[in-house]
Structure 1
Amino acid sequence: MEIVRWFSFICVVIATFVLLDLSNNVDGRAHFHKKKTDHTHTKKGSPVSPSPPEYLSPAAPTIPSDPYNNPNPDPCVFDVTSYGAVGDGSSDDTEAFTSAWKEACAVESAILLAPADYQFTITSTIFSGPCKPGLVFQLDGVLMPPNGPDCWPEGDSKKQWLIFYRVDNMTLTGSGTIEGNGEQWWELPCKPHRGPNGMTLPGPCDSPALIRFFISSNVEVTGLRIQNSPQFHMKFDGCTGVLIQDISIDSPALSPNTDGIHIQDTKGVGIYNSMITNGDDCVSIGPGCSEVAIENITCQHGHGISIGSLGVHHSQACVSNIYVNNVFIKNSDNGVRIKTWQGGMGSVAGIRFENVEMDNVKNCIIIDQYYCFTKGCQNETSAVYITDVSYKNIKGTYDVQTPPIHFACSDSVACTNITLSEVELLPKEGVLVDDPFCWNAYGILETITIPPISCLQDGEPVTLSESVNYDC
């Protein structure tokens, strides 16, 4: 009987230790999850300044050095090397990326990881949603397309490369580089200045935009270096709730059509704390955009910050509530520009340019309602209506080849309510050019300007053409 009691006691002790060990193992399998991103916006009618989302922890989740041999890999991290990506700069890793995307897309707060010290090459690819919320595409290595048009797969689109379609609450981030391999595309005969006397030559001309977000919402792009795009570096079409911050875009000054960031039919955009050096518009804002804030960015070379071109082929274009603040523009063909085609419809309203510093810029402040690729464009009676545009604390130097201020408004539809305050623009070299150009432009000067502006008309025009449809 005594032996039975001792045996029972030993069994209880063993069971207790087993339970404690199991409890510790359960605690050890707990994983970090990213909280759901919340892009909030200001009240209706004011420029948007999206609050940065709650981001990943200061240190990204630890990825096992050899995921194949790790018995318990983090189920929230989908490392493309685990799906067969080679990352040697020449192998086609497209299938590995699409497989990792498919599985990450189905998991909340998942991370698709392209790790550092690899150079991944993928062909033109659409990463489609909808996905579970909180998806992060984390690029810490290098990601690039095939090298030039001769290496481009025959069946792939030559108009776009990395496409995110119908994604919501997604982040594209990392410490890596998206390399566009654009040099051979820039040399196509059809590109500007490739032919004699600056003329273009016949031949194929399609070139891919590097990154495109299409019909997506609450998306963030942060931390990346994006360079040498064949055409536009980033495009946002039909999106709502876009946050771009802490990125760099870098292409040569003579790389054609390499807009830095282009948005179209997109609402609720914040572009912050970024450096853009390229060969075309630093930021371009197309039709259908509203509630856009651009702050603390530097633009070098290129064509400055542009609203437009708008109204091409007699189309309607509506742009409103654009806020540009604390921007440095250097060695550019334009500073802050609004450009429209004759014959368009719609309106541009509620535009604020504030605290802009310029260094050696040709057209510092420009409204051009006669935008045209050639000299043969005919005069049209209708135009996009431009109103409520303010320029405050715009200072710096300009290239004396062109007047620093140029308001060329439509013959039939005047520009109204233009306001200038604390505008001081001096020549980079040579003598002061004191002849700003105005045509059918109405507004006020709140302070004395340098150079003096005497051509801006007081008040408002008696009538606006009733035949023009400028309602939006």
Structure 2
Amino acid sequence: MSPTHVFFILWITMILFIHNLGNVEGRNHFHKKHKKISTAPEPPTDSPDPEDPPSPPTNTPTVPSDPYPNDPGDSPSDCAVFDVTSFGAVGDGSADDTAAFRAAWKAACAVENGVVLAPENYCFKITSTIFSGPCKPGLVFQVDGTLMPPDGPDSWPEKDSRSQWLVFYRLDQMTLNGTGTIEGNGEQWWDMPCKPHRGPDGKTVSGPCDSPTMIRFFMSSNLLLRGLRIQNSPQFHVKFDGCQGVLIEELSLYSPKLSPNTDGIHLGNTRGVGIYNSMISNGDDCISIGPGCSDVDIQGVTCAPSHGISIGSLGVHNSQACVSNLTVRNTMIKESDNGLRIKTWQGGTGSVTGLRFENIQMENVRNCIIIDQYYCLSKECLNQTSAVHVNDVSFRNIKGTYDVRTPPIHFACSDSIACTNITLSEVELLPYEGELVDDPFCWNAYGTQETMTIPPLDCLREGLPETVGELNAYDCS
């Protein structure tokens, strides 16, 4: 080996040694080694897992807008870790650790690849908090222990908003992940939901709109949500409003079957979303898609039990609603009140278009495939001459069993605005128990059956309505 090569190798070795020494010093400065404490209460009891989840897809598709090309979790050695216990968090399940989390957030927000760490073997109680940006790129909020809010409405501080608990606002390239649990302590809130619901005794009760959404992302972009268990939410578990570029994977969301308004994941005015390989068991919609959403890909999700995957409700109070380019595939829906549902109010405008439902397994599901353009929460809703236009929706390889209390296919389209370009292929739905009851229902629905449907769908009209030209006026530009 030449002297020049020897000198080059020694020079590289010296540079790496100095660099690694700096990294060690940096980590020692930011990361306090936490002790395991024996006085911390046990985390809340987990809800039971649904049985027999489907096999996840072998190839995870690319999120439509590639929201997180640079995963900050890939390079932990380059992160500055801000352990909340270093900022005074106690983590015994009773002390208020809110101030420590806010201080750790402020410190992590100011550096690139900062990590707010809630370490394992601790149970942290924090009150309603807005974690706001803008922050330096690559910020990570890592939960390896347990987070929980005050226990019920009587313990909720009067000065805090009751509409939300943890809010992430105006952020870009942010990750919420970890191996821990975010516990909502929702049991005492479930008697105070936003709309009528079935109570534990099966009777319909109602209450004020006064329950907090558990986790809300607002006006943010390039978000990654991964690996956590989120359970027993007072209302919605996770909500995205006005966001762009969202990747959700390997989440576990659990609340009891009769817990009201506990939607698993809700999207509103959000574009470019991928939801993959997650388990959701709750008392309302498994995943709900609100107005203003587009380019959404859902794959490898289990909903068991739930109210299924819902688009809507849309067009309330005569509003315009636009939803486009949604794909749901390789998903199981089990023991649920609905399967795949589109629900709109009378009087709205806009359109739902470009929806693809493929390779869906149903087990004992009511309303497996349903379009309801007469959605209403009371008996006082009147038919109107306008409605959200439902167009270009396909159902392919939808198989399994349905609850015989309702027909498995129900297309109730608006009197004045027909549903158009509905496609069905390889749809086979058999009664879970008992015999076949009512035939599928269609009203003002137009489309094509590429294969024979089980049960037979004789009510779907072929071609397009005579007023097809007028329908274009309702579509979103």
Same fold (TM over 0.5): yes
Matched, 1:90 2:90: no
TM-score, scaled relative to structure 1: 0.86
**1:430 alignment partner in structure 2:** 434
Q: Residues of 1 paired with 2:16 and 2:441: CA distance?
A: 78
**1:65 alignment partner in structure 2:** none
Shift of 1:51: 7.0
**1:15 alignment partner in structure 2:** none
Matched, 1:225 2:242: no
Shift of 1:374: 1.2
Contact 2:193 2:261 in 1 (8 A): no
**1:12 alignment partner in structure 2:** none
Contact 1:173 1:222 in 2 (8 A): yes
Matched, 1:381 2:377: no
> 1:193 corresponds to which letter in structure 2?
R
- Distance change (3 Å), C-alpha of 1:398 and 1:75: closer
SS in structure 1 opposite 2:73?
A: coil
**2:31 alignment partner in structure 1:** none
Instruction: Provide the aligned length of Structure 1 versus Structure 2.
Output: 429
Shift of 1:89: 0.3
Shift of 1:434: 5.8
- Distance change (3 Å), C-alpha of 1:391 and 1:189: closer
Equivalent residue in structure 2 for 1:128, among 132, 135, 140:
132
Equivalent residue in structure 1 for 2:22, among 29, 32, 36:
29
> 2:288 corresponds to which letter in structure 1?
S
**1:442 alignment partner in structure 2:** 446
* Identity score, percent: 66
Q: Residues of 1 paired with 2:349 and 2:395: CA distance?
A: 24
- Distance change (3 Å), C-alpha of 1:234 and 1:439: same
- Distance change (3 Å), C-alpha of 1:404 and 1:171: same
1:261-276 map, 5 Å? 261-276=265-280
**2:198 alignment partner in structure 1:** 193
SS in structure 2 opposite 1:358?
A: strand
Equivalent residue in structure 1 for 2:462, among 453, 458, 465:
458
Shift of 1:409: 0.2
Moved more, 462-471 or 130-139: 462-471
Q: Deviations over 1:247-276 (max 9, x none)?
A: 100000000000000000000000000000
- More contact order relative to length (CA 8 Å, sep ≥ 6): 2
Could you tell me which runs of 5 or more consecutive residues in structure 2 were left unpaired when the two chains were aligned.
Answer: 1-12, 28-60
Q: Residues of 2 paired with 1:463 and 1:368: CA distance?
A: 20
Q: Deviations over 1:339-390 (max 9, x none)?
A: 0000000000000000000000010000000000112211111000000000
> 1:372 corresponds to which letter in structure 2?
C
Q: Residues of 2 paired with 1:24 and 1:326: CA distance?
A: 49
1:238-249 map, 5 Å? 238-249=242-253
**1:403 alignment partner in structure 2:** 407
1:95-110 map, 5 Å? 95-110=99-114
- Distance change (3 Å), C-alpha of 1:129 and 1:429: same
Shift of 1:205: 3.5
> 1:318 corresponds to which letter in structure 2?
C
**1:361 alignment partner in structure 2:** 365
> 1:248 corresponds to which letter in structure 2?
S
> 1:471 corresponds to which letter in structure 2?
C
TM-score, scaled relative to structure 2: 0.85
SS in structure 2 opposite 1:28?
A: helix
Contact 2:148 2:183 in 1 (8 A): yes
**1:144 alignment partner in structure 2:** 148
**2:42 alignment partner in structure 1:** none
- Distance change (3 Å), C-alpha of 1:22 and 1:181: same
**1:470 alignment partner in structure 2:** 475
Matched, 1:340 2:344: yes
**1:56 alignment partner in structure 2:** 73
Q: Residues of 2 paired with 1:367 and 1:26: CA distance?
A: 60
- Distance change (3 Å), C-alpha of 1:29 and 1:297: same
Coordinate RMSD, CA, aligned: 2.5
**1:7 alignment partner in structure 2:** none
Contact 2:72 2:140 in 1 (8 A): no
Q: Residues of 2 paired with 1:110 and 1:189: CA distance?
A: 37
Could you tell me which runs of 5 or more consecutive residues in structure 1 were left unpaired when the two chains were aligned.
Answer: 1-19, 34-40, 62-73
> 1:163 corresponds to which letter in structure 2?
V
- Choose 1 or 2 for highest CA Rg: 1
Shift of 1:301: 1.5
Equivalent residue in structure 2 for 1:80, among 63, 81, 84:
84
Q: Residues of 2 paired with 1:23 and 1:445: CA distance?
A: 65
